[in-house]
Amino acid sequence: MSDATPVLILPEKSFAGFLFDMDGTILNSIAAAERVWSRWAEGMGLDVAKFLPYMHGKRGIDTISSLNLPGIDPQVEADKVLAGEIEDVEGVVPIPGAVEFLASLPSDKWSIVTSSPLPLAKRRLEAAGIPEPARIVSSGDVTIGKPNPQGYILGAERLGVSPSQVLVFEDVLAGVQAGEGAGAEVMVITETHSHPIEGGQYRIPNYLGLAPQMQDGLIRIVRRG
């Protein structure tokens, strides 16, 4: 299955809550993130073209630590990158239909689980015009980032439901693995990708033409009209 085509695979079941990754899932920050990380990678003498696909969907500290670069402090470097990302939000936009879709959800039925630090998450949500949810699980809330399931387990806990009762929305393999590792089913958003993404039970390109429908305290996804 190629994610270059607008495949739509919707769940027929209902869920107690929705947990959304942020970057690439409800907003598109690729241009801004790649500008900042490209500058950092060039300064480190890395092959930028090879490095950029590797950094998406993970905590900055995890990305930098895994490179095992000699003579650097990963936390110091991650803080530099974070400062640059908070400053540069040009071109950060919502995934099509995301604003309307999220606005239709009861505030106690959804949350965000992101690999971004909280200040960056707030900045990008504001830039994309997406209201901040009551509960955000950010990189500072976990000790191990995606693909570890810790974030989604915590996200479900904050919604007051079991991970098996939530639908996770993701756009990268590390996030899909985190959601499935938590025991949740996963909806893959393909809007920002031209290559297939493994895993997940469901697929949508974006949120256009879709709406959440509440019944007996549970949510399902339906086509508008």
Q: Which tokens is 9 given? A: 């695979």
Query: DSSP 3-state assignment of 117?
Result: coil
* pLDDT for 1 beyond 70: no
6-20, 46-60, 135-149, 156-170: range with lowest mean pLDDT: 46-60
Element housing 62 (H / E)? helix 60-66
Rg of the chain on CA atoms, in Å:
17
Known catalytic residue: 47? no
* Residue-level pLDDT at 3: 45
Helices (H), 104-172: 118-128, 150-159
* pLDDT for 139 beyond 70: yes
Q: Kindly report, residue by residue over 16-73, the tens digit of the pLDDT.
A: 999 999 999 999 998 898 899 999 999 999 999 989 887 776 788 889 999 999 999 9
Question: What is the rounded average pLDDT of the residues 80-95?
Answer: 94
pLDDT bucket at 5, cuts 50 / 70 / 90: low
* Residue-level pLDDT at 225: 73
Which residues make beta-bridge pairs with 126? Answer: none
Q: Kindly report, residue by residue over 187-200, the tens digit of the pLDDT.
A: 999 998 877 888 99
Which of 23, 62, 88, 171 is labelled catalytic? 23
Which of 21, 62, 88, 171 is labelled catalytic? 21
Known catalytic residue: 23? yes
Length of the chain: 225
Render 16-60 in DSSP notation, one character per residue.
SEEEE-SBTTTEE-HHHHHHHHHHHHHHTT--HHHHHHHHTTS-H
69 Cβ partners below 8 Å, 6+ apart? Answer: 44
Question: What is the rounded average pLDDT of the residues 83-104?
Answer: 95
Contact 36, 23 (CB under 8 A): no
Q: Kindly report, residue by residue over 8-23, the tens digit of the pLDDT.
A: 999 999 999 999 999 9
Look over the chain and give the mean of its residue pLDDT values, rounded to a whole number. Answer: 93
Strand 17-20 versus strand 166-170 pairing type = parallel
* Residue-level pLDDT at 95: 98
Residue 80 CA to residue 218 CA, distance in Å, equals 42
